[in-house]
Chains A and B, each alone.
Chain A
Amino acid sequence: MTTVHRYDAVIVGAGGAGLRAALEVARVTPRVAVVSKLYPIRSHTGTAQGGIGAALGNMEEDHWEWHMFDTVKGSDYLADQDAVELMCQEAITCVYELEHWGLPFDRTPDGKIAQRRFGGHTRNFGEAPVRRACHAADRTGHMILQTLYQQCIKHEVTFFNEFHVLDLLLEDNVCRGVVALSLADGELHLFHAKAVLFATGGFGRMYKVTSNARSLTGDGVAIALRRGIPLEDMEFFQFHPTGIYKLGILISEAARGEGGVLRNRQGERFMERYAPTLLDLAPRDIISRCMYTEIREGRGIDGKDYLHLDLTHLGREVIEKKLPDITDFARTYLGIDPVREPIPVQPTAHYAMGGIPTDVRGRVILDEKNTPVLGFYAAGECACVSVHGANRLGTNSLVDILVFGKLAGRDMAEYIRGADFAPLPKDADGPAREECERLLTSNGSESVARLRETLQREMMDKASVFRTQEGLEAMLTTLKELKDRYRRVRLQDKGKIFNTDLQEALELGYLLDLAEVTVVSALARRESRGAHYREDFPKRNDAEWLKHTLAYRINGEFELRYKPVVITRFQPVERKY
């Protein structure tokens, strides 16, 4: 039996974006519920290390206009500048708000919030690196997540923890709620709501080497696609330069912000050749490509596919005080002491620039004319506003989740005051129930784990940092096969209680859908911009491609449409660092 709940607002996801939105809605109504497949404090926001960017100017002169310029340039001019402007202004308020809620930022000697350097953040429109990233050691995300959750406890927000959302109820362009599976007992729950916000995070798990948690499988993004919502700019997926070799665990850019450098097998600081001004603090897309180039030209360590991140010259004091967690990672997982030895690193799949398209109020939009879907919102990594364009700068995701979590929450609060509960569709929980039943009763011979391994390996090979038409076409064929085999997966666990076998199968379904959109969008974009690099089209082509992709899936077929980029202050120019 499906249990039915009624809330004015339902927020799916309890990471930074979801919790920030919940706090905003909770100001006006107690009838808000947060539904999350993880306990809130297990969300991936907690793993963010380095910092949150805001032009506080606590340590040297800084202005939000500089932050805006860096973000736009970092995005390879694909970000919508009205949204970036708003974000960089609001970032400052959002950071102070967190401090007022008790976030234990590191401090300057005079007691202000301490700031550090980060990739692509500069003073005076590109002159030199600036200290803009506000931090709490290298566990900034942990502290943000905890602080927001603590505020939710204070304001008695209702949580449904370990509830996996399976479906979005959307009819006639009006959102009506969601359907979720309670992991503890395997029962379905229907949440009837006036408004729903998706804040389900990223989907790095479609790649083999990733910094992303096991849970980052793009659920909300795939569910939206299945319900007819287009996905924006899915061809742009960021690879972070410094993942621990093979494991993908992130070594924050803060390590380079504090002075760490990348070296090849000759011990050379190779970024001097590629980005003479910003060096090791150039944006991530550029450094990741340089690393692959070094590796391809035989300058990887021992000729292998990794390089060194060298912190040894920083001294024990800096390393252990400012970067305690990543020091611990190196010691635990590699048996390496970064005080004395360099850390082996390789680019790791890190961040989805693309996702569910929204306007600056967090409203999900349906087309290139920005027509909103009534009552449906998205924020955080699952959304695409777009403030990151073709490449996100470090520290800007934490800004994004706070600013747009807040603005979306505020708009939702406004919306639910004027809206009624739209009636539930007929057989509202039917499709979700069928999806679970099909997986539980399927008698095929395919294994979820094997399909997922193949997906991750092939995506890494063919749709990561370097892409070609040939590779992408081959990937599309592979995806067709994988999707076909997915219909024949067989689960071993047929039970109701905490069935993670079923959950992993559902998650693989989302990843397959999103990998397909990524490849279709990447194949169409015959240029190189930000994180999307086509070896067969190595130049940026503003005349034809200065536009956002909107990918629709209609009856299994993809249709690509395009949306203009909003340009206000900064005209596109060639990107040099």
Chain B
Amino acid sequence: MRVVLKIKRFNPERDREPYWAEYEVDVEPVDRVLDALEYVKWHLDGTLAFRRSCAHGICGSDAMLINGRNRLACKVLVKELGARITVEPLRGFPVIKDLVVDMEGFFAKYRAIKPYLINDEPPPETERRQSPEERARFDDTTKCILCAACTTSCPSFWANGEYIGPAAIVNAHRFIFDSRDRGAAERLAVLNARLGVWRCRTIFNCVEACPRGIDVTRAIAEVKRALLFSSL
């Protein structure tokens, strides 16, 4: 099967503006978009830059805009997309080169919600107990791989890059609803700020974008509810 891969390219050492380049690639029906990108890099143009590592949707390296949607290149098969595939870098982040974007700002927001268990009580000799129901309460949000597909699909984020974004809220949720955690108030204070969770307009792009199937909007709604009913 032959497909045309149209890639938005930009190398600041060489180009003043981003431009589109087209490559014809022969693919197998089981090939991922990542395989097609690698074909280009390995056999047509070695200067193409993109990130990848695990190649099966776990490490979060290769979120990009594929045919207009945020997806992991390693988790979408070429045959689902038809004969013309367009690939662009994630929106809203500075482009370093081609499909590689600067994620520092994204990780700064992750760090802002204090993404670690907060609990100063001395732990027991063995494990802290947690019932299966308590564990299930935050199961969904433990799946996040920080690929940024959700945040960069969000119109509120496009409108204001300072918005904390769905990924950070998902990770706050993971701790706020963990029965062992005592840091909910600190995190909710961060999320209650001007560029916090209230910027979410429930547009649902993030849910569709999440390659891990996390119900992002629901997590955000639960965080909003926690804010409304907490005594902050």
Q: Bound pair: A and B?
A: yes
Closest Cβ neighbor of B126 among chain A residues: A96
- Please report whether the interface of chain A is mostly helix, strand, loop or mixed according to DSSP: loop
Can you spell out 10 A-B residue pairs with CB atoms less than 8 angstroms apart? A41-B146, A105-B127, A107-B130, A109-B131, A111-B129, A150-B117, A215-B53, A334-B30, A495-B11, A501-B47
**B97 at the binding interface (Cβ < 8 Å):** yes
**A492–B55 touching, CB < 8 Å:** no
Q: A99-B128, A150-B117, A154-B116 are contacts. A213–B178 as well, Cβ < 8 Å?
A: no
Q: A46-B54, A107-B132 are contacts. A495–B142 as well, Cβ < 8 Å?
A: no
Q: Tell me which of B32, B47, B56 contacts A492 (CB under 8 A).
A: B47
Chain B nearest CB from A501 CB (Å) reads 4
Chain A nearest CB from B8 CB (Å) reads 15
A214 contacts which chain B residues (CB < 8 A)?
Answer: 52-55
Chain B nearest CB from A153 CB (Å) reads 6
Q: A96-B127, A100-B123, A104-B138 are contacts. A497–B97 as well, Cβ < 8 Å?
A: yes
Near A by CB (< 8 A), chain B positions 168-197 give 175, 178, 180-181
Instruction: Report which residue of B58, B97, B213 has the largest number of chain A beta carbons within 10 angstroms of its beta carbon.
Output: B58
Closest Cβ neighbor of A95 among chain B residues: B127
Q: A96-B126, A150-B116, A332-B75 are contacts. A325–B58 as well, Cβ < 8 Å?
A: yes
Count of CB-CB pairs between chains A and B under 8 Å: 158
Q: A99-B128, A214-B53 are contacts. A246–B30 as well, Cβ < 8 Å?
A: yes
Closest Cβ neighbor of B30 among chain A residues: A333
A positions within 8 Å CB-CB of B: 38-39, 41-44, 46-47, 56, 96, 99-102, 104-113, 136-137, 139, 142-143, 146, 150-151, 153-154, 184, 213-215, 246-247, 249, 325, 328-329, 332-334, 447-449, 491-493, 495-501
**A101–B117 touching, CB < 8 Å:** yes
Closest Cβ neighbor of B102 among chain A residues: A184
Chain A nearest CB from B36 CB (Å) reads 14
Q: A47-B59, A100-B128 are contacts. A491–B46 as well, Cβ < 8 Å?
A: yes
Q: Tell me which of A47, A113, A492, A498 contacts B127 (CB under 8 A).
A: A113
**B69 at the binding interface (Cβ < 8 Å):** no
Q: Tell me which of B55, B60, B77, B123 contacts A41 (CB under 8 A).
A: B60
B178 contacts which chain A residues (CB < 8 A)?
Answer: 102, 104
A101 contacts which chain B residues (CB < 8 A)?
Answer: 116-117
**B43–A332 touching, CB < 8 Å:** no
Closest Cβ neighbor of A37 among chain B residues: B53
**A500–B49 touching, CB < 8 Å:** yes
**A99–B127 touching, CB < 8 Å:** yes
Could you give, for residues 5-31 of chain B, a 1 whenever the CB lies within 8 Å of some chain A CB and a 0 otherwise?
000000111100000000000000010
* Complex CA–CA separation, A153 to B114 (angstroms): 8
**B12–A497 touching, CB < 8 Å:** yes
* Complex CA–CA separation, A215 to B62 (angstroms): 13
A110 contacts which chain B residues (CB < 8 A)?
Answer: 129
**B135 at the binding interface (Cβ < 8 Å):** yes
Near A by CB (< 8 A), chain B positions 32-60 give 32, 41-43, 45-47, 49-60
* Complex CA–CA separation, A500 to B142 (angstroms): 31
**A102–B116 touching, CB < 8 Å:** yes
Closest Cβ neighbor of A139 among chain B residues: B143
A447 contacts which chain B residues (CB < 8 A)?
Answer: 42-43
**A136–B117 touching, CB < 8 Å:** no
* Complex CA–CA separation, A139 to B139 (angstroms): 11
**B127–A213 touching, CB < 8 Å:** no
* Complex CA–CA separation, A501 to B98 (angstroms): 13
**B56–A249 touching, CB < 8 Å:** yes
Could you give, for residues 57-84 of chain B, a 1 whenever the CB lies within 8 Å of some chain A CB and a 0 otherwise?
1111100000000000001010000000
